[in-house]
Structure 1
């Protein structure tokens, strides 16, 4: 609708923003109206995916005009020192004063027409592409194109790109053709879009952690439905290791032990790279396993259909974590059901619970175990003291289980609060933009139908 109204405005000389706001356009809206939305996995759609707005963008084919600038920025970035010339804050990178000086010393003799942004921003984009975004984790390369990986679901997006030059910085890093930047044609936050529906509801198995945000942002209350049958799930104590290598070996050993008993195993990983490491370790021990991480040609449904067979081992990213129903062979159910191995804690406890929820469904038996090493990203980045405690416990007592569940839960709560703050800031920025439009509108024509448009 935004794009249609903007197109109509450009085609009518003398048209103004106020005319478009008053709906004085002959261009019909493309949507018939937003009446009812029933959302499956509603916490993923309204919470996890709401970290970024919905964008409608377009681009022209061909190499970017500033491709040479991106390549030179990458060369300059590789000479800069972390914590001296630049700092990383989350997934953002910022040059220090010393780094700015070095960056501008390396600038080439380009005309202003070659630069879409200040030179130091090109260098920061190259640093971000090099130091914070990882191949096979944050993105994959497919047919000489960079494809974004959804960290919550593990799915590889075919039609999404990073904006602001970041996509081009990664293409330079990977020595791919550097395409022109896409330009935003229309934008709306998920929060505002779903607010536009007259009736909004949905279902999920993991709404408890975000019930306050669902209430405050969307006006939704959470109602709990008790399971039809009592749960038979057995959650085993967390297995701890000193290093990631030791952890992967322990995961393969447990998968082998469970598979040899006639049960089936689902090994859940956070990213494609880890799924490949775990699969290699399992195969190194003489076992066979299916790999589901978005890179296979085989259909997902076929792999999942085989996952419930006796002695089957399936290694998967979060593709198999949310909404997947693994049907158990009768012999597997009789011997204890599916065993889920969580290779690494996600920053969101809801994602971990979705993965664990693949076992012991609808009254079936099942079990799960979390694996943790002192080198895991969640521990190293958010709570290094937990890693130190693990090292002391293992070295001193030679143990493989250590009570870290409460510490991990505390870390995940802090991570969830930070994510909620980021979503609130995005919503506040959207409200400020809308406020400017409302202020301009009210100064021209406080007609009632304009208020109705705002409410929608």
Structure 2
């Protein structure tokens, strides 16, 4: 193991040594750039673009271009890139991950490769974890780009179409991973090419790359539409499930986060609901599905850990960042089950319109790079899934933070008692302390205990996210106590002594000033005063040991613990950290095994007596490795299944894009018509049977349903000597009929109709296919019991389903275009598709009446009325 680690570090050192030659080249340009005027420095951008067009590469330009950015940054921001930051910039340009510790200036590093790659004119995306950082960085670093003549865009929530398109057209675009991903999905749902906002993906730099590519990899981006499901059953099951007993009526596996009803539990539920069989379809409702989601909501999902209830809404809490995930909902009815459990209004279940995982979204970029303070522990995953190498960049100043060994207590109560005592000691001596918790519930419990002791403090969790930057920026002041969940202000530095910019604004607001109206002279005067105050306080905090970090529990991933520690000891500042654990913590309880509790018992310690033991530290690390390995396997498996979906998505989206950009689809439609004809002939006039055995009556019926008006062709017309002769006859008939239909309206009207029908049919069938794939994925694991590999079975069935969807797209497109009523005049674009799908075959001449259902609605699980014996959803309801 040691030799393996040594090899990694040797490789890292060797690569850094090689890249330092590039850094020397950048430094050699510094004096030249310093001698240039602002206009001459700005003119370098146009010069670089010309040189690129005449054959030079980005690698050729790198030393000079990086030197230009360094000088521009110094003139505009007063910040000069250190050599280590230049090194980080080179790594990012090469499409790798730069691991740089907290406070090493990752935001500034990104300006170097962003500027260089923006020179190609193909766009650069800088991806952040939240809107606040995207806005801050686009304004702060944007000043450098604008000084050098490049345009900067910002993608934010609620941005209108025009501004969004303009932001994507900019040389460098800032935004969150969610915004970039959702815009991609929306672009693949538009009716006209000009409604698309994104350009082809070129180069992306992901800030906090581990958070986006690993922590969020299990959560797909989904665009949904309104579903039809009734919400009453969610309320009904929310009343039933609390009356069941854990261990008797249902079994919970906390490790795997699964829950399952026992036979006794099922019988009890059936009795309470007054139904004979919970697993039988009841008016199209799958009662067992409602029971499972109600059990998950009741037994697995915890309020103030997994979600919060705010303003009558259930909002998901990101387990890794501790942030609220606005606009995100659990799928498959789980969110509705939680809403019923909490007694808030239930939003109707949605239908998936489009979906993609971040894993497959970011792999579409020609070049991808990332920055984070903690990537090394996940290096294998970055390399295997994204093809990204991790390079650890040395710190500018030596790291002098002291990381104390973990302290383990028998009970949670004893642990919190010790945590409170340490906080009180730090507070009394004036040392700032940041306390990390894994849940909102724990942060609020700790806050209540501190209030009782009269210790002033700030709480930062998803409930108070609006004050995030402000709280974190002041967490390094004398005697400050800050309790934070994992969201602890990623991207905002904790400055010892306080942040002068925030303090200046705070002072002006206290004076009743409107910040927008304050003149620059007044602001600079207050800022100068605050800088002096912070500098003096900085020295006092350093003398007291810097920022002290207290962890109240180990996270599942070592990386998250390292992030918490990394808030302290930035840029050579002193600092310290210690984790307090108990045997009742989830990680140790579920994954620690017998080794930890065995040591505790053998030592025979009192409840409030702590243990610091090498074996315990190793056991904790092993527990974390177990969970990390399990989570990696889950993400890897998710990707294997999503790769199947991704190949299908790429085919559909590529064809859809072709429809958007192409003006004439007549040949495509006629080609589809010929394929549909061939399919009908295979079914009713197989080459394997004699012509006199053909089912001409059935063939005539389907031809009239799809192509021809009634009685246009007869069975006599279809009675031919050979299959080839019949096929040729029908092809000619279909082509002639389509030409006649085209003659009934303007050619451009027909082209528009073809385009819109194609798009709408593709979208409609793709939505149905997504639902069907969800159903397949849900039950595919059971194939393992039949000695079949679930993934191979999934790939095989998914392919068959995709082929079936393509056939239905062809048939429906042809049906609508041959049967829809045509208007002699060209309609307005927005109404071009009105009634195309809902309007039936359009064969009559009078105005069409809206369709009204006669009799009871057919449930998706009801027998299909066509008499096939299949469920409606598997037959005509597809």
TM-score (structure 1 length as normaliser): 0.86
Contact persistence 1:148–1:161 (CA under 8 A): yes
Deviation (angstroms), 1:299: 1.9
Q: Indicate the SS of the match to 1:299.
A: helix
Deviation (angstroms), 1:436: 5.9
Equivalence for 1:51: 218
CA shift digits 1:258-293 (9 cap, x unpaired)? 121221000000111000111111222221111111
Higher RCO, 1 vs 2 (CA within 8 Å, ≥6 residues apart): 1
Deviation (angstroms), 1:31: 2.2
- Say if 1:117 and 1:232 are closer, same or farther in 2 by CA, change over 3 A: farther
- Say if 1:367 and 1:77 are closer, same or farther in 2 by CA, change over 3 A: same
Equivalence for 1:42: 209
Are 1:417 and 2:583 counterparts? no
2: CA distance, partners of 1:251 / 1:418: 30
2: CA distance, partners of 1:2 / 1:327: 40
- Say if 1:355 and 1:26 are closer, same or farther in 2 by CA, change over 3 A: closer
Are 1:405 and 2:617 counterparts? yes
Are 1:373 and 2:373 counterparts? no
Equivalence for 2:557: 348
2: CA distance, partners of 1:322 / 1:117: 45
Contact persistence 1:394–1:400 (CA under 8 A): no
Deviation (angstroms), 1:92: 2.6
1: CA distance, partners of 2:331 / 2:284: 13
Deviation (angstroms), 1:435: 5.2
Equivalence for 1:359: 568
Are 1:105 and 2:317 counterparts? no
Deviation (angstroms), 1:333: 1.3
1: CA distance, partners of 2:188 / 2:493: 44
Count, aligned residues: 424
Q: Indicate the SS of the match to 2:554.
A: coil
CA shift digits 1:200-248 (9 cap, x unpaired)? 0011111111111111110101111111111111111212222111111
Contact persistence 1:41–1:204 (CA under 8 A): yes
2: CA distance, partners of 1:49 / 1:297: 19
Aligned pairs for 1:77-96 within 5 A: 77-89=241-253, 90-96=256-262
Equivalence for 1:144: 312
Q: Which residue of the other structure, out of 376, 381, 385, is the alignment partner of 1:213?
A: 381
Q: Indicate the SS of the match to 1:323.
A: coil
Q: Indicate the SS of the match to 1:102.
A: helix
CA shift digits 1:38-81 (9 cap, x unpaired)? 00011111111101211112337xxx853221122122222333
Are 1:255 and 2:419 counterparts? no
Equivalence for 1:450: none
Contact persistence 1:4–1:27 (CA under 8 A): no
1: CA distance, partners of 2:414 / 2:462: 26
CA shift digits 1:133-170 (9 cap, x unpaired)? 11111111101100110111111122111111111111
2: CA distance, partners of 1:273 / 1:387: 26
Are 1:242 and 2:398 counterparts? no
- Say if 1:107 and 1:246 are closer, same or farther in 2 by CA, change over 3 A: same
- Say if 1:199 and 1:86 are closer, same or farther in 2 by CA, change over 3 A: same
Deviation (angstroms), 1:185: 1.1
Deviation (angstroms), 1:116: 6.5
Equivalence for 1:452: none
Q: Indicate the SS of the match to 2:328.
A: coil
Equivalence for 1:19: none
- Say if 1:275 and 1:394 are closer, same or farther in 2 by CA, change over 3 A: farther
What RMSD over aligned residues (CA atoms) do the two structures have, in Å?
2.7
Contact persistence 2:362–2:368 (CA under 8 A): yes
Aligned pairs for 1:123-202 within 5 A: 123-202=291-370
Is the strand fraction higher in 1 or 2? 1
Query: Mean alpha-carbon deviation: is it higher for 341-350 or for 179-188?
Result: 179-188
CA shift digits 1:157-195 (9 cap, x unpaired)? 221111111111111111111121122210011111111
2: CA distance, partners of 1:176 / 1:409: 41
Q: Indicate the SS of the match to 2:217.
A: helix
Equivalence for 2:236: 72
Contact persistence 1:346–1:378 (CA under 8 A): yes
Equivalence for 1:396: 605
Is the helix fraction higher in 1 or 2? 2
- Say if 1:113 and 1:85 are closer, same or farther in 2 by CA, change over 3 A: closer
Q: Indicate the SS of the match to 2:324.
A: coil
CA shift digits 1:325-361 (9 cap, x unpaired)? 1100111112210000000000011000000111111
2: CA distance, partners of 1:113 / 1:143: 36
Contact persistence 1:87–1:94 (CA under 8 A): yes
2: CA distance, partners of 1:209 / 1:92: 27
TM-score (structure 2 length as normaliser): 0.46
Contact persistence 1:374–1:386 (CA under 8 A): no
Deviation (angstroms), 1:87: 2.3
2: CA distance, partners of 1:300 / 1:436: 41
2: CA distance, partners of 1:297 / 1:270: 15
Equivalence for 1:15: none
Equivalence for 2:674: none
Q: Which runs of 5+ in 2 are unaligned?
A: 1-183, 498-537, 652-798, 807-878
